[in-house]
Amino acid sequence: MTAAFRAANPTAIKAEYFGKKIINLILEQEECVGIRVYNGLDASGVQSNVLVGVDSDGNDIVNGALGDRSVKSPPFSGATNSLNS
């Protein structure tokens, strides 16, 4: 799936990295049972994802912790592997 995306979008952001701290902060919210990932654009117009907790009814926990600051790949892609090359 990642190879197909890269082939169709050769100049697009390949991935985004969110650290353990924000992921745990979202998941540790009392009512949180999972995470939803939204597509968005940052202030510069660059594609960016937003992470939000989801409760047991499937509702976004919009007044809680949000993951809206990621490290983009490229340029920070880590070691070459089947998902990023």
Q: Tell me if 80 is assigned to some domain.
A: no
Q: Tell me if 37 is assigned to some domain.
A: yes
Structure tokens at 77: 């892609």
Q: What is the pLDDT along the chain (85 residues), one digit of tens a residue?
A: 999 999 999 999 999 999 999 999 999 999 999 999 999 998 899 889 999 999 999 999 999 999 999 999 888 888 999 998 8
Q: Tell me the C-alpha distance between 18 and 50, whole Å.
A: 10
Task: Give the predicted TM-score (pTM) of the model.
Answer: 0.88
Domains in the chain, number: 1
Structure tokens at 62: 């919009």
Q: Tell me if 31 is assigned to some domain.
A: yes
Q: Tell me if 81 is assigned to some domain.
A: no
Range of the structural domain that residue 29 is part of: 15-73
Provide the pLDDT for residue 85. 87
Provide the pLDDT for residue 77. 86
Query: Cis (ω within 30 of 0) for the bond into 74?
Result: yes
Q: Tell me if 4 is assigned to some domain.
A: no
